[in-house]
Amino acid sequence: MKRSGLKPCRLALLVNMLLWCTPTGAQTPGRELHWDALDVEARLNGDGILDVVERHAMVFTGDWNGGERVFDVRPRQKLEFLGLERMDARTGSLHSLQEASVPNDVDEFTWSDRRTLRWRSRLPSDPLFANTRLTYVLRYRLSGVLLKEDSQYLLDHDFAFPKRPGPIVRFTLKLDFDPAWQPPGDSQNQYTAGPLESGQSFVLKIPLGYSASDEPAAIDTQRPTEIVAAVTVILGGLALLLLIFLQRERSLGRFAPVDTTGVDSAWIENHILSHPAEVVGATWDGRVSTSEVVALIARMTAEGKLESMVEAEDSMRLRLKVGREELRAHERSLVDGLFFSQRTETSTKEIQLHYKGRGFDPATVIRPELQKLVAKVLPSGRERVGRLAGLTLFAAGAVLLLWTAFSDPVSAGAAIAIGIFSLILGSILQIPGWLFRSRPDWGPTAATLLLLPAVFVSAGIAAFLWLYAGTGADDAVLKAALAAADSRRERLERPA
Answer whether 0.75 is exceeded by the pTM. Answer: no
Same-domain check for residues 41 and 177: yes
Whether residue 255 is contained in a domain is answered as no
Q: Which of 172, 198, 220 is the last residue of a domain?
A: 220
Same-domain check for residues 264 and 246: no
End-to-end C-alpha distance for the chain, whole angstroms: 45
CA-to-CA distance for 385 and 389, rounded, in angstroms?
10
Q: In degrees, to the nearest 5, what angle opens at C-alpha 262 toward C-alphas 261 and 264?
A: 120
User: What is the span of the domain harbouring residue 49?
Assistant: 32-220
491 Cβ contact list (under 8 Å, min separation 6): 112, 118
Q: Decide if 50 contacts 141 (C-beta within 8 A).
A: yes
CA-to-CA distance for 142 and 472, rounded, in angstroms?
13
The predicted structure's pLDDT at residue 264: 86
The predicted structure's pLDDT at residue 168: 96
The predicted structure's pLDDT at residue 57: 96
Same-domain check for residues 87 and 177: yes
* Total domain count, the chain: 3
Whether residue 448 is contained in a domain is answered as yes
Same-domain check for residues 395 and 306: no
The predicted structure's pLDDT at residue 6: 42
The predicted structure's pLDDT at residue 130: 93
In the sheet that 78-87 helps form, which strands lie side by side, from edge to edge?
94-96, 78-87, 129-143, 50-62, 32-44, 171-177, 190-193
Same-domain check for residues 209 and 312: no
| CATH code for the domain of 79 | 2.60.40
Q: Going residue by residue through the chain, which has 496 residues, state the pLDDT in tens, using 9 for 90 and above.
A: 344 444 444 434 333 433 333 333 445 557 899 999 999 999 999 999 999 999 999 999 999 999 999 998 887 788 999 999 999 989 999 999 999 999 999 999 999 888 899 999 999 999 999 999 999 999 999 998 888 877 789 998 999 999 999 999 999 999 999 999 999 887 888 999 989 999 999 999 999 999 888 888 887 776 777 778 888 888 898 899 888 888 888 877 777 777 778 888 888 888 888 899 999 988 887 789 999 999 999 999 999 999 988 877 778 899 999 999 999 999 999 999 999 999 999 998 899 999 988 889 999 999 999 989 888 887 665 555 566 777 787 788 788 778 877 776 766 777 788 788 888 887 888 888 878 877 767 888 888 888 888 899 888 888 888 877 655 444 444 444 434 333 333 333 333 3
The predicted structure's pLDDT at residue 304: 93
Whether residue 327 is contained in a domain is answered as yes
The predicted structure's pLDDT at residue 17: 38
Whether residue 19 is contained in a domain is answered as no
Q: Decide if 281 contacts 292 (C-beta within 8 A).
A: yes
Same-domain check for residues 324 and 422: no
Q: Which of 352, 377, 402 is the last residue of a domain?
A: 377
Whether residue 469 is contained in a domain is answered as yes
Q: How far is CA 415 from CA 65, 300, 401, 474, 484, in A?
A: 43, 53, 6, 13, 20
CA-to-CA distance for 492 and 163, rounded, in angstroms?
17
Q: How far is CA 379 from CA 120, 253, 283, 384, 423, in A?
A: 75, 11, 11, 11, 35
Q: How far is CA 243 from CA 236, 320, 439, 448, in A?
A: 11, 52, 21, 11
The predicted structure's pLDDT at residue 270: 86
Same-domain check for residues 242 and 153: no
The predicted structure's pLDDT at residue 192: 95
Whether residue 52 is contained in a domain is answered as yes
Whether residue 15 is contained in a domain is answered as no
| SS3 per-residue string spanning the chain | CCCCCCCHHHHHHHHHHHHHHCCCCCCCCCCEEEEEEEEEEEEECCCCCEEEEEEEEEEEEECCCEEEEECCCCCCCEEEEEEEEEECCCCCCEEECEECCCCCCCCEEEEEECCEEEEECCCCCCCCEEEEEEEEEEEEEEECCEEEECCEEEEEEECCCCCCCCCECCEEEEEEECCCEECCCCCCCEEEECCECCCCCCEEEEEEEECCCCCCCCEECCCCHHHHHHHHHHHHHHHHHHHHHHHHHHHCCCCCCCCCCCCCHHHHHHHCCCCCHHHHHHHHHCCCCHHHHHHHHHHHHHCCCEEEEEEECCEEEEEECCCHHHCCHHHHHHHHHHCHHHCCEEEHHHHHHHCCCCCCCHHHHHHHHHHHHHHHHCCCCCCCCCCHHHHHHHHHHHHHHHHHHHHCHHHHHHHHHHHHHHHHHHHHHHHHHHHHHCCCCCCHHHHHHHHHHHHHHHHHHHHHHHHCCCCCHHHHHHHHHHHHHCCCCCCCCCCC
Whether residue 396 is contained in a domain is answered as yes
Same-domain check for residues 36 and 179: yes
Same-domain check for residues 102 and 210: yes
Cis peptide, bond prior to residue 75, ω within 30 of zero:
no
Same-domain check for residues 182 and 207: yes
CA-to-CA distance for 493 and 64, rounded, in angstroms?
10
CA-to-CA distance for 87 and 138, rounded, in angstroms?
11
Q: How far is CA 462 from CA 412, 457, 459, 468, 478, in A?
A: 22, 9, 5, 10, 18
Same-domain check for residues 203 and 245: no
Same-domain check for residues 202 and 237: no
